[in-house]
């Protein structure tokens, strides 16, 4: 998985420093994916002749802590509406797929249209909107475990979950060892929202 450069992280913290600015324009939902590629050297043992050889493994990056290859979302299919240039959106899709979800990314020109269509309030918005085949909405960088928990027992009157903005350390927004505590919010049919869970550490997301 690619890691983001400091300028990327800082740019997004400024961009989403105020949640009120998130919905001002669809351009704010786009994030870019850096072109840099890490190269590592990995020693590999040659068991055939009991000799140790060095094998170069280039263009590799450390695995994300969220890539657990679980089946929490095995029977869930969703369309993820996003900007074509949003690298962190792609990372969240990978996170969801690693937990079993059949996620299809759909690039759209104006994300606001889809957020309004599916009832995502302006103060709940993030960079992408996932909609399951049964109509539940998952906005932003929500850990797969909470998507699965919600779908296993949807609260009465709820339309889905949201992680407003783009908190550092959430799935798809990993950067070094940084983590900013955040809240997963429950969005309701009547337009209200409430705290679904407080995420206080990176480990809590696993």
The answer to whether position 198 is within a domain reads yes
Determine, yes or no, domain membership for 94: yes
How would you classify the pairing of strands 158-162 and 40-46? unpaired
Task: Please check whether residue 90 lies inside any domain of the structure.
Answer: yes
Domain that holds residue 144: 6-40+50-205
Residue 45 resides in a domain: no
Contact 198, 181 (CB under 8 A): yes
Per-residue pLDDT of 24-56, as tens digits, reads 334 344 464 433 333 333 333 333 333 333 333
Q: How many domains does the chain have?
A: 1
Task: Spell out the residues 6+ positions from residue 53 whose beta carbon is closer than 8 angstroms to its own.
Answer: 43, 44, 45, 46
Is 1 contained in some domain?
Answer: no
In a domain, 185, yes or no: yes
Task: Give per-residue burial for 88-115: e unless 16+ CB within 10 Å, then b.
Answer: bbbbbbbbbebbbbebebeebeebbebb
Residue 36 forms part of a structural domain? yes
pLDDT tens digits for 132-144?
999 999 999 999 9
The verdict on residue 59 lying in a domain is yes
**pTM for this predicted structure:** 0.71
């Amino acid at each position: 998985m690619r890691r983001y450069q400091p300028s990327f992280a800082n740019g997004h913290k400024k961009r989403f420093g105020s949640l009120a600015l998130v919905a001002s324009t669809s351009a704010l939902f786009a994030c870019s994916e850096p072109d840099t590629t890490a190269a590592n050297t990995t020693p590999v043992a040659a068991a055939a002749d009991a000799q140790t050889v060095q094998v170069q493994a280039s263009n590799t990056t450390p695995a994300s802590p969220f890539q657990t290859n679980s089946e929490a979302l095995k029977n869930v299919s969703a369309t993820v509406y996003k900007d074509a240039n949003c690298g962190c959106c792609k990372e969240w899709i990978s996170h969801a797929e690693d937990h079993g979800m059949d996620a299809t990314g759909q690039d759209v020109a104006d994300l606001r249209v889809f957020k309004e269509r599916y009832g995502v309030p302006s103060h709940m918005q993030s960079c992408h909107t996932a909609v399951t085949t049964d109509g539940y909405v998952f906005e932003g960088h929500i850990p797969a475990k909470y998507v699965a928990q919600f779908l296993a027992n949807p609260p009465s009157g709820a339309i889905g979950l949201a992680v407003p903005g783009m908190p550092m350390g959430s799935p798809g927004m990993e950067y070094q060892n940084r983590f900013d505590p955040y809240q997963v919010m429950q969005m309701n049919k009547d337009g209200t929202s409430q705290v679904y869970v407080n995420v206080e550490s990176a480990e809590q997301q696993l």
